[in-house]
Structure 1
Amino acid sequence: MSNYLLEYREAIGSGEIIAGAELITELDNLIADMRNPRYIYDTTDAETRIDFMENCIRLTKSPFYGKPMELMKWQKAFIEVVYSFKFADKTYIDPSGFERHIDRFQKIVLLIGRKNAKSETCSGLTLTESIVGNEGADLVCSSNDDSQASILYDAIDTMRLMIDPNQQDTRKNQRCIRILATNSKIFKLSDRTRNKEGRNIDFAVVDEVHEMKTNIILKSIEQSQSLKDNPKLIIITTEGFVVDGALDEILRDCRRVIHGEDTGVAAERLLPWLYTQDSEQEVWADERSWQKSNPSLGTVKKWDYLRTQIDMARKSKSDRIFVLSKDFNFKQNSVQAWLGVEDYKYDGVYDLETFRNALCLGAVDLSETTDMTSAKILICKKGMKTKYIHSHYWIPESKLENSDDTEAGAKYKEWAKQGLLTICDGNDIDLTLVADWFFQLYKEYGFRLYKCGYDVRFSKEFLRRMEEYGFESELVLQNKLTLSNAMKLCEADLKARNVNYNQNEIDAWCLGNAAMEMDNLGNVQAVKVDGQPSKRIDGAVTLIIAYEMYRRYRSDVMR
């Protein structure tokens, strides 16, 4: 009889498999518990499920579609541990009337890098459980939103149809998948599901917990399992960006269990299975260490893919944050400084006169009172990578004495003397002056404004004046979906010294103040650093809007 836990640990000890310290410590804890008289280590249930998965389940994703599910060593060890530890002194009577020992582990946490077959593994396990597990069971696929829960659910349905193509033994309707032989059903549950309470769940897989700000879904599932003798709640996830969210709390509990700091009743029933690196430095220095957070590397996840991701991460801050979080399970703050000083402070000056009669793109970040208003034109020379940026700023007179801005590095009066900034009388900004600035550039240098990007806020008077001048303006929403690619392109050009902003001091100040906020899909947006509202980023935002206009009309401008 195989013992996959011991085999997995031996493969790690021999160097065949590279694993992180947290996983190794937990495996050693489990092996020690095999000798604890409090537990029975009976692999019968695990072997039944592993046998069914390998001989009946077929994979649903390209390039493995339709192939048998051949479980890797980590998968076998994981499933074995989930089902094999039993309490020696706790039993229950199953529906067939047999006395059975209660499983030790009720809550299981699998933290693993993306594209390591976590969803496919748990989809196969859920379908298997519905067929070989308790009769009349309710099984749940859950996540923060319905689309993510559907990934598990749809994979289960595809696996079901491969086994039962004529649907003689299974059925699916709008509510659930039903297994006729066991009368068990599989359904979805997400944050959008009404009436999350009052259910009677035996087995649940919850995906992508890193997106959850609260643990409402998890608590609802746990409460629904309170009447069950042998429930299972399997949490599968990568790291994420939500600060003090549900995952942070779960991982704190996991690490207390791993290090023996919590030996309570709940801790005894928690199985942490964490694929993590031991340091960030090893990620950049030793690619063999990547297996620590990617146990399917070389079998499912491709080495070339991960090498490409690392190469991108070396060059781009946004890629670096996303890769460290999603591929290597390092917790990342969703808001981080966007650029280093060396990325935007470098030599680069030009004379506007050399671009006389040039075609240009425009961008504005408009405000009325608190922030600065910023406007930019972007000019390209045919056959050259450099983007030439010319800027101007406006602030209301009332901002001149703002001590917070001064402490943050603002030099409004000095910048006004240099001609970089216009100080508007009173407490607000006359936004028609911004349109006048574009027309003044046309009069002085013949610059032809092809398109000007603007955000919808405070834009009515600006747009009216732009229309009077015959300038065409285009809406550019300030959100991650719209500006992510433009921000990444702008960052790459800045680092490559392909942006010449004529050493404008306000531009440099705004670029240094800008932070980058990322969502779980890797989309980014420029934001102010929390707690530092006086560090203005208007110039950085306008530059990104200009880059979005460049992305949209690059071919037109270059022609």
Structure 2
Amino acid sequence: MTKEYIYPYLEHSFLLQYIAKCKANEIIIGNELMVQLDMLLEHFENNAIRIDFKDAQKRIKFIETQCKHFEAPFAGKPFLLDLFQKAFIEAIYIFKVYDEEIEQWIRLYQDVLYLVARKNGKTPLISAIALAEFFCGEIGTRILCSSNDYEQADLMFQAIDSMREESRTLEKVTRSNIKGIFFGNPKNKKKTGKFSLKNKGHIKKISAKTGAKEGKNIRVGAVDEVHELKDNTSIMPIRQALSTQNDPLYIELTTEGIINDGYLDERLREARKVLNGELERPRWLIWMYTQDSEQEVWQDEKSWAKSNPGLGVIKKRSFLQKMIEEAKTSKTMRVFVLSKDFNIKQNNATAWLSTDIIVNEDEFDIEEFRNAFGIGAVDLSKTGDLASARIMLMRAGDPKKYMIRKYFIPESKLANLPKEDKQKFEQWIREDRIEVSPGNENDFRLVTAWFVKIFQTYGIRIYKIGYDKWSAIYWAKDMEDYGFDLVRVSQDFSLSEPMKLVESDLKSKLINYGNDPIDKWCLENTALNFNSKMDIMPIKVQGQDHKKIDGAVTMIIAYKVYIDNRSEFTQLVGR
């Protein structure tokens, strides 16, 4: 790129200023973003591309003068854009190409991928761009905010609406309700013009779970937390809805994730092919803040800016330092921090626990707990998976949890086990660790019989039994007829707190599971699933359904019941 081409634009181009600082190493970025910036530089000497700053300047001015932050610690303050944010907005808007079909100059980039680590202001930035497009774009502009779930889609929508409410100027000419944001304010009626009821533009929200049914004829689509999408089924209706527009804008914003072969994985594979010159996507702006290696995360604190452009301004360095220190000692935290704070792909093949945490050769005699109180947990499977029943026991003044358990499997499933697992299962059946149900289904009456037997033999009274609602309706009624108190425990992110406590207690050797080999096997097989709030839940490793995790699940369910009823249960234990 020659200076002669840059010089006319340098003085008033945030993009060129940003690139210059990146090239001079004043701003540290990763190689993938540098490749994209080099591509943008080439546009300045491409005669087929017109450089026009008007749209970008209009939107930057709108954001900085009309939009205000709505969350602490910046609530009520003007939305003053950092240089990297202004450069990003310019990259979207300043490059124009002539469209022969409609005989107009339109934006070169109509498809945008924005990948940045969490807490770098990605949702507020894209929300501000969407609001700017609503006001600065053409009349009738319709905008759709989307994400994997309704709550996440609502975060972007609420960010837009809060910025609108913070500005008296914007609020005077708009209105909002549960359906969306619209032009025309009944309290300040305008009969004609862009800001009147005649402007049918709007901003709405949908989630992947609603099927994107409202995504018809929109001009701007923004999809948040793309990493949570398993496929493109919720994306395609939105992209299709943009197809009628002359100058549409589609933005995907996200951090990295842990879903294997999800939608984001495929998009990133394509994006990297584009950056490597292996695939041609001239209308796609790929703006990715990524590390060049995992090693540099641990060895060079300065490199953190590669995935965290807002470090020190938006995101506190002390926060990231704290996350790194926790990640050094916690596998769970390590997976989360690398994916969410440094955009380094993690996957759900990552084991939850390391072997040294799981191994515990302690044993105990159940006779020690005669007439004690316990907490029960079950993970029932009608057919394919192992079924697990568990009782967690405690002593007064002893923080340890002691586990007894029983496993169940249908007879027909034994023949279909992999050879290595079949030998183990046959051994466990001989040792009476697993009870076999005749036929093709688990007989849940055997589960009931096991709890009854524990009470009749040892006098162990079950305080409450946690169970998942699936496949358990008739079993639950049977158990209640015997006088057991059952509590529904959903196998979702509500298991996050108990799962973390199980991990901590295993590390501290505060769980004695009697050195049971099936418990150990299930713990080894368990992988992690995360959401954007850093909640976790247990899952199987993708593609390894024969690796059972039921024993780990019942351990976590027992902890869930314990946490929810800790005070009352410990009083019973202390009697």
- TM-score, normalised by the number of residues in structure 1: 0.85
Question: 2:23 matched to 1:13?
Answer: yes
Deviations 1:330-371 (A, max 9, x none): 333345433332221233223334444433222233456655
Question: 2:264 matched to 1:247?
Answer: yes
- Greater CA drift, 421-430 or 280-289: 421-430
Q: Which whole-Å CA distance do the structure 2 matches of 1:218 and 1:356 have between them? A: 58
Q: Which whole-Å CA distance do the structure 1 matches of 2:528 and 2:142 have between them? A: 43
Flag the 1:433–1:74 CA change in 2: closer, same or farther, 3 A: same
Question: 2:180 matched to 1:163?
Answer: no
- Greater CA drift, 336-345 or 59-68: 336-345
Contact 1:480 1:523 in 2 (8 A): no
Structural RMSD (CA): 3.3
Q: Which whole-Å CA distance do the structure 1 matches of 2:409 and 2:151 have between them? A: 45
Q: Describe how 1:278-357 pairs up with structure 2 within 5 A.
A: 278-334=292-348, 336-357=350-371
Deviations 1:238-275 (A, max 9, x none): 22344444433332332222222234xxx111111011
Contact 2:154 2:205 in 1 (8 A): no
Aligned AA for 1:116?
N
Shift, 1:504, TM fit: 1.5
For 1:268, what is the secondary structure of its paired residue?
coil
Q: Describe how 1:57-76 pairs up with structure 2 within 5 A.
A: 57-76=67-86
Flag the 1:406–1:339 CA change in 2: closer, same or farther, 3 A: farther
Deviations 1:190-227 (A, max 9, x none): 3537754651x333333233333443554444444445
Contact 2:466 2:489 in 1 (8 A): no
Aligned AA for 2:338?
L
Question: 2:417 matched to 1:390?
Answer: no
Equivalent of residue 222 in structure 2, options 205, 208, 226: 205
Q: Which residue of 1 aligns with 2:123?
A: 119
Shift, 1:234, TM fit: 2.4
Q: Which residue of 2 aligns with 1:379?
A: 393
Q: Which whole-Å CA distance do the structure 2 matches of 1:348 and 1:525 have between them? A: 27
Flag the 1:489–1:410 CA change in 2: closer, same or farther, 3 A: farther
Aligned AA for 1:70?
L
Deviations 1:136-156 (A, max 9, x none): 433443444544333333332
Q: Which residue of 1 aligns with 2:253?
A: 236
Q: Which whole-Å CA distance do the structure 1 matches of 2:242 and 2:468 have between them? A: 49
Contact 1:454 1:473 in 2 (8 A): no
For 1:404, what is the secondary structure of its paired residue?
coil
For 2:522, what is the secondary structure of its paired residue?
helix
Aligned AA for 1:485?
E
Q: Which whole-Å CA distance do the structure 2 matches of 1:374 and 1:497 have between them? A: 22
Deviations 1:392-441 (A, max 9, x none): 33445666x63625522653454355453445667666544544444544
Aligned AA for 2:119?
K
Q: Describe how 1:105-184 pairs up with structure 2 within 5 A.
A: 105-164=109-168, 167-172=171-176, 174-178=179-183, 181-183=193-195
- Greater CA drift, 525-534 or 485-494: 525-534
Q: Which whole-Å CA distance do the structure 2 matches of 1:224 and 1:429 have between them? A: 48
Contact 1:338 1:514 in 2 (8 A): yes
Q: Which residue of 1 aligns with 2:463?
A: 450
Q: Which residue of 2 aligns with 1:96?
A: none
Q: Which runs of 5+ in 2 are unaligned?
A: 1-10, 185-189
Q: Which residue of 1 aligns with 2:107?
A: 103
Deviations 1:31-75 (A, max 9, x none): 233223332333233222222222222122222111011111110
Contact 2:348 2:541 in 1 (8 A): no
- TM-score, normalised by the number of residues in structure 2: 0.83
Contact 1:19 1:292 in 2 (8 A): yes
Contact 1:107 1:232 in 2 (8 A): yes
Deviations 1:494-545 (A, max 9, x none): 2332211121122222322333444555444434444444433332222222
Aligned AA for 1:5?
L
Contact 1:316 1:492 in 2 (8 A): no
Q: Which residue of 1 aligns with 2:564?
A: 552
Q: Which whole-Å CA distance do the structure 2 matches of 1:33 and 1:238 have between them? A: 28
Q: Which residue of 1 aligns with 2:489?
A: 477
Q: Which whole-Å CA distance do the structure 2 matches of 1:176 and 1:517 have between them? A: 34
- Greater CA drift, 428-437 or 202-211: 428-437
Flag the 1:393–1:163 CA change in 2: closer, same or farther, 3 A: closer
Equivalent of residue 512 in structure 2, options 500, 513, 520: 500
Flag the 1:207–1:421 CA change in 2: closer, same or farther, 3 A: closer
Contact 2:36 2:286 in 1 (8 A): yes
Deviations 1:169-201 (A, max 9, x none): 3344645421775355232153537754651x3
Flag the 1:432–1:303 CA change in 2: closer, same or farther, 3 A: same
Flag the 1:219–1:344 CA change in 2: closer, same or farther, 3 A: closer
Q: Describe how 1:25-104 pairs up with structure 2 within 5 A.
A: 25-87=35-97, 101-104=105-108
Deviations 1:440-486 (A, max 9, x none): 44455443332222344356457536743x4x332333521443332
Contact 2:406 2:433 in 1 (8 A): yes
Aligned AA for 1:66?
G
For 2:252, what is the secondary structure of its paired residue?
strand
Flag the 1:26–1:407 CA change in 2: closer, same or farther, 3 A: same
Q: Which whole-Å CA distance do the structure 2 matches of 1:220 and 1:394 have between them? A: 44
Q: Which whole-Å CA distance do the structure 2 matches of 1:516 and 1:410 have between them? A: 27
Aligned AA for 2:518?
I
Q: Which residue of 2 aligns with 1:186?
A: 202
Deviations 1:48-106 (A, max 9, x none): 2222222222122222111011111110111112111223x66899xxxxx97432222
For 1:11, what is the secondary structure of its paired residue?
helix
Contact 2:499 2:537 in 1 (8 A): yes
Shift, 1:131, TM fit: 2.9
Q: Which residue of 1 aligns with 2:13?
A: 3
Flag the 1:386–1:262 CA change in 2: closer, same or farther, 3 A: same
Flag the 1:421–1:129 CA change in 2: closer, same or farther, 3 A: closer
Flag the 1:285–1:480 CA change in 2: closer, same or farther, 3 A: farther
Shift, 1:161, TM fit: 3.0
Q: Which whole-Å CA distance do the structure 2 matches of 1:371 and 1:13 have between them? A: 55
Flag the 1:62–1:322 CA change in 2: closer, same or farther, 3 A: same
Report percent identity of matched pairs: 40
Contact 1:318 1:522 in 2 (8 A): no
- Greater CA drift, 525-534 or 56-65: 525-534
For 1:350, what is the secondary structure of its paired residue?
coil
- Greater CA drift, 158-167 or 338-347: 158-167
Q: Which whole-Å CA distance do the structure 2 matches of 1:268 and 1:2 have between them? A: 25
Aligned AA for 1:124?
A
For 2:565, what is the secondary structure of its paired residue?
helix
For 2:538, what is the secondary structure of its paired residue?
strand
Shift, 1:555, TM fit: 2.1
Flag the 1:41–1:402 CA change in 2: closer, same or farther, 3 A: same
- Greater CA drift, 154-163 or 493-502: 154-163
Flag the 1:91–1:127 CA change in 2: closer, same or farther, 3 A: farther
Q: Which residue of 1 aligns with 2:478?
A: 464
Flag the 1:119–1:427 CA change in 2: closer, same or farther, 3 A: closer
Q: Which whole-Å CA distance do the structure 2 matches of 1:66 and 1:250 have between them? A: 36
